[in-house]
Chains A and B, each alone.
Chain A
Amino acid sequence: MRVPRGEIFGFLGPNGAGKSTSIKMLLGLVNPSAGEAFVLGAPAGEVEIRRKIGFLPEEFRFYQWLTAEELIEFHGRLCGMDASTLRKRVPCLLEVVGLTPHRGKRLQGFSKGMLQRAGLAQALIHEPEVIFLDEPTSGLDPMGRRLVRDVIRAQRDRGATVFLNSHLLSEIEVTCDQVVFIREGEIMVTRDLRNWHEEKVRVRIRARKLMPAIIAGLSRWAACDQNQTDAETVMLTGAPRDSLPEILSYLVQSGSEPFEFTPQRTSLEDLFMEIVGEDRGL
């Protein structure tokens, strides 16, 4: 598996698939039982290369007796940053993660979401080239999620690589450039979300005067399901993308009055279920 530089890379899989363990191996927290990994060309876990790596752990536990400002400053000092740089950088980061009003408060009074924001700030303090985020939005409200999404994109835009491990597939879908699915430590599928075009799509059609004969005619393109409770709605499954204009003109010419014709992209969640299969109680 290779993660290209400057991308937002999603790392997906069911519980127990080995996502967090993989990140820990890449960071040198856990020793691999076999094989090898490289980060920015250096063997995983090498101390010097960590100067260019940021990490938000899944269990964002920090010294509770520090204030948000002190926490970020402490992590900056661990990265070898001097006091004058930190004086400029810490307030900026607090602003970015929306913690400026709480900068002087101790972490022990922080909610899960606020801790996660503080954790994100400590991961970014030294402007790393690679950022590992393990479930960065799990404790956040919708506003917080948007904020994290914006921060992640801003990091990519400045040239950083973001390695994102998340269960929130909708988040991954709107944020990541590329995703990989793993199960039981094995890579199942790699997918480039920027150029993800499906040959066959599902189409939701809503139309008045949708006669049975018309519906029967649709089956020449794809399998057709009529909604049991709503006679005006049908779903076409597996329609060739190229034939969509043809299907629409067929509907109009055959006398129905379509007011909705929506090709539906297979969501990452559908893909996830397809790849990972049924929940086997992991």
Chain B
Amino acid sequence: MKTLWVIASITFREAARKKILWTALILGIGFLMVFGAGLYYQLGDLRAGNMPPFLRYQVLSATLMIGLYTVDLLAVVMAIFTSADTISGEIASGTIHAIATKPIARWQVLIGKWIGFVSMLAIFVALLFGGTLAVGYWVAKVALQNPIRGGLLVYLECLVVLTATFLMGTWFSTLTNGVIVLGLHGLAFLGGWLEQMSGFAQGSGLVTLGVASSLIMPTEAIWRRAAFLMQPPLAGALQFSPFANISVPSATMVVYAGFYLIALLAVAIYHFQRRDL
């Protein structure tokens, strides 16, 4: 346990020293300010247009969902970019040599680093996701349903991406690693939207394509589950909403994502344990 803590804390310290942590947080605050301003102006426009409060709430909650979707995308990209170099970079530079020859198992190196990133992402998601919800409530008095479950699902999505990046890092160089994981997320993203489009073309193969892409990379499916849980029921029922309940991933998909994450981590440990350094 002590060793895991040593590795996790050095990972944390690296992010702090390289100013990654602070840059991400400052940009996050900038994001929240822009989002707050946007919501404020939208509220002003809607009030000026005399939109009934009930409908106004639906529109503002949709804006809040878009804000959260941006946070989700930002957190995913952040998970990939910050962790892409941590294993592959240290193997390529030889930094790992002095560490892996100390009396610690390789899995401890990998899990220690993973815990470091898991903690950093927790802070990032909590601040940005929580911040967006807070801004939504403070500026427009919009409160979504199940915010904690939604936030945890977004966090799970980040952990899946993070673990995939760790796994690829035991095989590929930093750049290739980042390209692969971002590409996989892109596939899930496209699959998710194609599946959403199935609402307009009944009986097509779009659903199958969406499910298949979610099985390969369940990240976007987790978000769509989170969106389903969070947005007001009426907005979900409206077919023109970007996050309409047309094809909602089931709770089983979340369980699948959990097992998927564990499997990725297990393969990453197995491969890192055996490979030449």
User: Is the pairing of A and B real?
Assistant: yes
- Chain A positions within 8 Å of B, measured between CB atoms, are 24, 27-31, 47-48, 50-51, 53, 55-63, 65-66, 74-75, 77-80, 119, 122-123
Q: Which of A31, A51, A58, A62 contacts B103 (CB 8 A)?
A: A51
> B265 → chain A, closest Cβ, in Å?
20
- Chain B residues near A119 (CB-CB < 8 A): 98
How many inter-chain contacts with C-beta < 8 Å in the A-B complex? 71
- Chain A residues near B6 (CB-CB < 8 A): 74, 77-78
B98 engages A75 (CB within 8 Å): yes
Interface readout for B73-105 with A: 1 if CB under 8 Å, 0 if not? 000000000000000000001110111111111
Q: Which of B2, B10, B17, B103 contacts A50 (CB 8 A)?
A: B103
Chain B interface size band reads 20 to 34
Given contacts A29-B277, A30-B277, A65-B18, contact A75 B102 (CB under 8 A): yes
> A134 → chain B, closest Cβ, in Å?
9
Question: In the complex the two chains form, what is the Cα distance from A61 to B95 in whole Å?
Answer: 5
Interchain residue pairs with CB less than 8 A apart (8): A50-B104, A58-B94, A59-B93, A61-B93, A75-B98, A78-B102, A80-B2, A119-B98
Complex: chain B residue closest to A53, CB-CB:
B101
Complex: chain B residue closest to A48, CB-CB:
B103
Identify which of A53, A63, A75 gathers the most chain B CB atoms within 10 Å of its CB.
A63
A50 engages B102 (CB within 8 Å): yes
B103 engages A29 (CB within 8 Å): no
Interface readout for B1-45 with A: 1 if CB under 8 Å, 0 if not? 011001000100010011000000000000000000000000000
A28 engages B101 (CB within 8 Å): yes
> A74 → chain B, closest Cβ, in Å?
6
Given contacts A28-B101, A48-B103, A50-B103, contact A59 B18 (CB under 8 A): no
- Chain B residues near A58 (CB-CB < 8 A): 94
B277 engages A78 (CB within 8 Å): no
Given contacts A63-B10, A78-B6, contact A47 B103 (CB under 8 A): yes
Q: CB within 8 Å of A: which of B96-134?
A: 97-105
A59 engages B97 (CB within 8 Å): yes
Question: In the complex the two chains form, what is the Cα distance from A59 to B274 in whole Å?
Answer: 22
- 5 A-B pairs besides A28-B101, A78-B104 with CB distance below 8 A are A28-B100, A55-B98, A75-B99, A78-B99, A79-B102
Complex: chain B residue closest to A78, CB-CB:
B102
A74 engages B10 (CB within 8 Å): yes
Q: CB within 8 Å of A: which of B257-277?
A: 274, 276-277
Given contacts A74-B10, A78-B6, contact A30 B99 (CB under 8 A): no
A122 engages B98 (CB within 8 Å): yes
- Chain A residues near B276 (CB-CB < 8 A): 24, 29-31
Complex: chain B residue closest to A132, CB-CB:
B101
- Chain A residues near B98 (CB-CB < 8 A): 55-57, 60, 62, 75, 119, 122-123
Q: Which of A24, A65, A122 contacts B17 (CB 8 A)?
A: A65
- Chain A residues near B99 (CB-CB < 8 A): 75, 78
Question: In the complex the two chains form, what is the Cα distance from A56 to B94 in whole Å?
Answer: 11
Question: In the complex the two chains form, what is the Cα distance from A53 to B103 in whole Å?
Answer: 9
- Chain B residues near A59 (CB-CB < 8 A): 93-94, 97
A47 engages B104 (CB within 8 Å): yes
A79 engages B103 (CB within 8 Å): yes
Identify which of A29, A57, A80 gathers the most chain B CB atoms within 10 Å of its CB.
A29
Question: In the complex the two chains form, what is the Cα distance from A63 to B6 in whole Å?
Answer: 14
- Chain B residues near A27 (CB-CB < 8 A): 101
Complex: chain A residue closest to B277, CB-CB:
A29
Complex: chain A residue closest to B275, CB-CB:
A31
B105 engages A47 (CB within 8 Å): yes
- Chain A residues near B97 (CB-CB < 8 A): 24, 29, 55, 57, 59, 61
**7 shortest interchain CB distances as A-B pairs:** A59-B94, A57-B97, A78-B102, A51-B103, A65-B17, A50-B103, A30-B276
- Chain A residues near B17 (CB-CB < 8 A): 65-66
Question: In the complex the two chains form, what is the Cα distance from A219 to B55 in whole Å?
Answer: 115
Question: In the complex the two chains form, what is the Cα distance from A30 to B275 in whole Å?
Answer: 8
Question: In the complex the two chains form, what is the Cα distance from A129 to B115 in whole Å?
Answer: 32
> A273 → chain B, closest Cβ, in Å?
30
Given contacts A31-B274, A77-B6, A80-B2, contact A62 B101 (CB under 8 A): no
Question: In the complex the two chains form, what is the Cα distance from A184 to B98 in whole Å?
Answer: 26
- Chain A residues near B3 (CB-CB < 8 A): 78, 80
Given contacts A74-B6, A74-B10, A77-B6, contact A61 B104 (CB under 8 A): no
Question: In the complex the two chains form, what is the Cα distance from A50 to B106 in whole Å?
Answer: 12
B14 engages A65 (CB within 8 Å): yes
- Chain B residues near A30 (CB-CB < 8 A): 276-277
- Chain A residues near B277 (CB-CB < 8 A): 24, 29-30
